[in-house]
Amino acid sequence: MSTKAKAQTETAEPGREYRVNMAEMSKRLGGCHRTTVLRKERLGLIPKRRLFPDGEMAWLGSDVDRWFASATTGEDETARRSQLADRLSRH
């Protein structure tokens, strides 16, 4: 594993931000396909990726961690379902 890939998959130190690439996000979502990850992002089911100054498109680690924490505790479930219903009704 390259140093860059290893750095992206390790848990960040407190107060230090890190990036989550497509392979890592797919793995965190149970090994789903890249297309499924992109669909979930488009529907607003997972956080949006960001474009970093070095040209890399990735998720901000704190956004992903916060999303997984709220998803596992059930916080904002009603709001998330309402947003999804709104998005699906527009398509």
Is the CB of residue 61 less than 8 Å from the CB of residue 41? no
Strand order in the sheet with 19-20: 19-20, 57-60, 50-51
Phi and psi angles of residue 12, each rounded to the nearest 5 degrees, phi first: -70, 150
pTM: 0.64
Spell out the residues 6+ positions from residue 40 whose beta carbon is closer than 8 angstroms to its own: 29, 46
- Any idea where the domains of the chain sit in the sequence? 19-90
Distance CA 7, CA 35 (A): 24
- Tell me the pLDDT tens digit for each residue of 22-55: 999 999 999 999 999 999 999 999 999 999 999 9
